[in-house]
């Protein structure tokens, strides 16, 4: 029992890692987009649990808040808006077997390179390295330029979304008059 | 197998599964979700390396990836909506005339 408690974090890490992988495999195999979305949400929650086990709790919280709470809710909304029009289409493209073979080769090469030897860890590893205070200071001090560039990216995304809406309105109007 | 190798293996597997989904699936929304899976795999490797080296660079990059993923979805969904309104299908085979 003591050994189990000592190795509990390793056990949980393996459990959530297996859950994330199962969710990823289910995303490839399931046919309905809504079920794929549920599998992706399960994968994201398993990854959030892994981040929590690694001691980066704020990334775990943002993984749930941003990915599951915002991105996937938007995706589920789009699926519910569009899914009824798409009945009985083919699940896989013609590239199924070349794609599977290529991915197996890629996976083999990268896993083999991971297995050989990783460099030894440097610096102070552990929970203290990822305190929200230290991260916030570094994020808004050292990485302020990156932060500003992402705000520009967000503005560009909003402008582009408005442009897409403008294109759809113009095409509506031309259909009505033509 | 130590913890870093296990987590990097998981992240590579998630990235490869996402890439496989983008290649083999025909539904546009499923392809978008597979792209999100690829970003999640990259995030896991970033967090793992940041934890291994004890620096905040990886965590900062993860936050930037969050923003990029959100912007990508906010832009991709309206484009998919327009495509579906035009072609009445989510199947990529219906968009063959988009080939350059």
CA distance A26 to A51: 22
Locate A107 and state its tokens.
């996976």
Q: What is the pLDDT of residue A65?
A: 93
Confidence label for A88 from pLDDT (cuts 50, 70 and 90): low
Locate B40 and state its tokens.
């999640």
Indicate yes or no: CB of B80 within 8 angstroms of CB of A82.
yes
Task: Say if CB B34 and CB B92 are below 8 A apart.
Answer: no
**For A30-57, how does the pLDDT look when each residue is reduced to its tens digit (9 = 90+)?**
988 999 999 999 999 999 999 999 888 8
Closest CA to B39 of A40, A154, A146, A52: A40
* More confident site: A21 or B58: A21
Indicate yes or no: CB of A121 within 8 angstroms of CB of B91.
no
CATH classification (class only), A1-86: mainly alpha
- pTM score of the predicted model: 0.89
User: What does the DSSP 8-state code read for residue B16?
Assistant: H
Residue B50: how many other CB atoms lie within 10 Å: 24
Task: Say if CB B80 and CB B35 are below 8 A apart.
Answer: no
**Minimum distance, in Å, between the CA of residue B100 and any CA atom of chain A:** 20
Q: Tell me which of 1.10.287.3510, 1.10.760.10, 2.40.50.100, 3.30.160.70 is the CATH number of domain B3-88.
A: 1.10.287.3510
Indicate yes or no: CB of B6 within 8 angstroms of CB of A115.
no
Q: What is the pLDDT of residue A20?
A: 96
Q: Concatenate the DSSP letters of all residues of chain A into one string.
A: -HHHHHTHHHHHHHHHHHHHHHHHHHHHH--SHHHHHHHHHHHHHHHHHHHHHHT-HHHHHHIIIIIIIIIHHHHHHHHHHHGGG--S--SB-TTHHHHHHHHHHHHHHHHHHHHH-PPPP-S--SGGGG-HHHHHHHHHHTTHHHHHHHHHHHHHHHHHHHHHHHHHHHHHHHHHH-
**Minimum distance, in Å, between the CA of residue A174 and any CA atom of chain B:** 14
Indicate yes or no: CB of A28 within 8 angstroms of CB of B21.
yes
Of all residues in chain B, the one with the smallest CA distance to A66 is B66
**For A117-157, how does the pLDDT look when each residue is reduced to its tens digit (9 = 90+)?**
666 655 545 555 567 888 888 888 888 998 899 999 999 99
Domain boundaries of chain A, sorted by first residue = 1-86
- Candidate from B16, B24, B59 with C-beta closest to A56: B59
**Minimum distance, in Å, between the CA of residue B5 and any CA atom of chain A:** 6
Residue A123: how many other CB atoms lie within 10 Å: 10
pLDDT greater than 80 at residue A85: no
Mean residue pLDDT of chain A comes to 84
CA distance B81 to B99: 19
Q: What is the pLDDT of residue A135?
A: 83
Q: What is the pLDDT of residue A7?
A: 83
- Candidate from B34, B40, B91 with C-beta closest to A89: B91
Decide: helix, strand or coil at residue B27.
Answer: strand
Residues of B in contact with A143 (CB under 8 A): 57, 60
Q: Which residues of chain B have pLDDT under 70?
A: 1
Indicate yes or no: CB of A129 within 8 angstroms of CB of B54.
yes
Residues of A in contact with B54 (CB under 8 A): 121-126, 129
**For A151-177, how does the pLDDT look when each residue is reduced to its tens digit (9 = 90+)?**
999 999 989 988 888 887 887 788 777
Indicate yes or no: CB of B54 within 8 angstroms of CB of A134.
no
Long-range own/partner contacts, residues A107-110 (CB < 8 A, 24 or more apart): A107/B12, A107/B13, A107/B16, A110/B12, A110/B16
ipTM of the complex: 0.94
Residues of B in contact with A111 (CB under 8 A): 9, 12
Q: What is the pLDDT of residue A107?
A: 86
Q: What is the pLDDT of residue B86?
A: 84
Task: Say if CB A93 and CB B25 are below 8 A apart.
Answer: yes
């Amino acid at each position: 029992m003591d050994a189990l408690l000592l190795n509990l974090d390793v056990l949980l890490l393996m459990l959530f890692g297996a859950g994330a992988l199962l969710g990823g495999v289910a995303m490839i195999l399931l046919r309905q987009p809504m079920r794929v979305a549920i599998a992706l949400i399960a994968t994201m929650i398993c990854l959030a649990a892994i981040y929590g086990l690694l001691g980066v709790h704020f990334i775990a919280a943002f993984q749930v808040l941003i990915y599951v709470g915002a991105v996937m809710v938007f995706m589920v909304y789009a699926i519910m808006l569009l899914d009824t029009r798409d009945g009985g289409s083919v699940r896989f493209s013609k590239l199924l077997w070349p794609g599977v073979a290529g991915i197996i080769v890629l996976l083999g090469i990268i896993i083999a390179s991971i297995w050989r030897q990783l460099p030894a860890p440097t610096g102070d590893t552990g929970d203290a390295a990822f305190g929200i205070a230290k991260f916030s200071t570094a994020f808004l001090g050292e990485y302020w330029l990156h932060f500003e560039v992402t705000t520009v990216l967000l503005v560009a995304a909003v402008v582009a979304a408005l442009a897409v809406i403008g294109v759809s309105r113009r095409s509506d109007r031309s259909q009505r008059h033509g | 197998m130590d913890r870093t190798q296990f987590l990097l293996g998981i992240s590579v597997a998630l990235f490869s599964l996402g890439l496989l989904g983008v290649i083999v699936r025909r539904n546009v929304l499923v392809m978008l979700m597979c792209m999100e899976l690829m970003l999640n795999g990259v995030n896991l490797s970033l967090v793992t390396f940041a934890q291994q080296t004890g620096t905040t660079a990886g965590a900062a990059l993860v936050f930037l990836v969050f923003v990029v993923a959100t912007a990508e979805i906010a832009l991709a969904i309206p484009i998919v909506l327009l495509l579906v309104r035009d072609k009445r299908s989510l199947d990529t085979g219906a968009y063959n005339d988009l080939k350059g």
